[in-house]
Structure 1
Amino acid sequence: MGRLIKNHWARLIAITAAAYQIAAALEAFFWPKIFFDFLTKTLDGAVKPVPALQIINLILGIGILAWEWPLGLIAGSAIHRSIEARLATFPLASLAAVLIYQGTNPAIYYLVAMIVYFVAYSEGEIVCAKPWTLPQRGRSGGSKA
C-alpha cells in the first residue's frame, strides 16, 4: 500500500466545504440570519436588507470550488500549485462562512482542510501541475562507476 497523499485528501475536504458553502449562501438568501445574533444585533445589516454576506459566501464558494476541482483556466497555474495560497485564503472563507447561520459546517470543514494542507506542506508535499496526479519519483539508475 502507498502513503496517503494529504494534499489530495485536503482537496476533497475543501471541495466538500466549498459545495456546502455555496448551498449555505443560497439558503441564506431566503433565511438571512447571522450566527452570532444571540449576542448582538449589530451584524444584521450584513445579511438584510442587502445580502452582502450571502454574496461574499457565494463568490468564495464558487471560487474555491473552481480552484480545487480545478477549472481548466486554473489547472497547472502557479496559484493552483500553491499550498501557501490555500493556507492564506481558507481562513477568510472560513470566517465568511461562520458569520452566516447556515455556514457553520463549511467553516469547520475549511479548518480541517487547512490543518491537513499544513501537514502536507510541512512534509514537503507538492501539488502537481496536472490535477489529481501523483508526483513522479526520480529515476535511480544505480551507480555510474
Structure 2
Amino acid sequence: MGVFIWHEWARFVSVFASVYGVWAGFWGLFFRKFFWDFVGGVRMNTATQKGIIPGANAAPFLAIIVTIPLIQILSMVIGIMILLVECPAPFMKKLPIYRSLVFRLMLLLVQAFLTVLFYQGTNAALYSLIAAIGYTRAVMKGEVMEEAKANRGITGAA
C-alpha cells in the first residue's frame, strides 16, 4: 500500500468546491435567498405573504445578499482565485502563493464563510471545509508539493 497524500486529495476536493461555489454564486445572482432566514424568522400564511419572513436581526444580511448580491459576487471571485491557484498556468507555478498550502487553506475558509450565507452555496461551503481539513492535515504532516521542491530557491540571473 502507498502513502495517502493529503494535499493531492484536498486539491481535488478544493477544485470541486470552487467550481461548485462559482456555479452557486452564478445561480445566487438570479435566485437570491438568505439561507439563515429561518433563525428568528416568523412563519406567515396570509393571502399576501407565505413562508418565513426574516426577523429584524437579518437586515444586514438581506441587504448584501438579496438587495445587492455582493456575497454571491465575492464568492465567485474567491472561487475563481482558488481555481487559478489549484490549476495554474505555467508562469504561476513559480510564484510563492502556488507553493503555500496555508494560503490555499485560508482561501478555502473564506470561501466557506461566504458561500454558507446564501442558499445555493451551502454545499460549496461544506466541500470547502472538507478541503480545508485535508490541507490542514497535509500541513500537520509536513507535506511538500513535488512542483514546489523543484522551484524553491531559484532566482534569476544576478
Matched, 1:114 2:132: yes
Report how many aligned residue pairs link the two structures: 132
Match of 1:77 in 2: 95
Shift of 1:37: 1.2
Matched, 1:125 2:143: yes
Match of 1:142 in 2: none
Match of 1:88 in 2: 106
Per the normalisation by structure 1, the TM-score is 0.83
Q: Give the counterpart letter for 2:10 in structure 1.
A: A
Structure 2 unmatched ranges of 5 or more: 40-54, 151-158
Match of 1:44 in 2: 62
Structure 1 unmatched ranges of 5 or more: 137-145
**Percent of pairs with identical residues:** 33
In the aligned structure 1, how far is the partner of 2:5 from the partner of 2:24?
29
In the aligned structure 1, how far is the partner of 2:109 from the partner of 2:68?
24
* Structure 2 contact 82–104 (Cα < 8 Å) conserved: no
Query: Which whole-Å deviations, capped at 9, do the CAs of 1:39-72 have from their partners, x for residues lacking one?
Result: 2441111123321111101101111111111233
Going by fraction, where is strand more abundant, 1 or 2?
2
Match of 2:80 in 1: 62
Query: Which whole-Å deviations, capped at 9, do the CAs of 1:14-40 have from their partners, x for residues lacking one?
Result: 000000001100000110011111124
Bigger-Rg structure (1/2): 2
In the aligned structure 1, how far is the partner of 2:99 from the partner of 2:143?
11
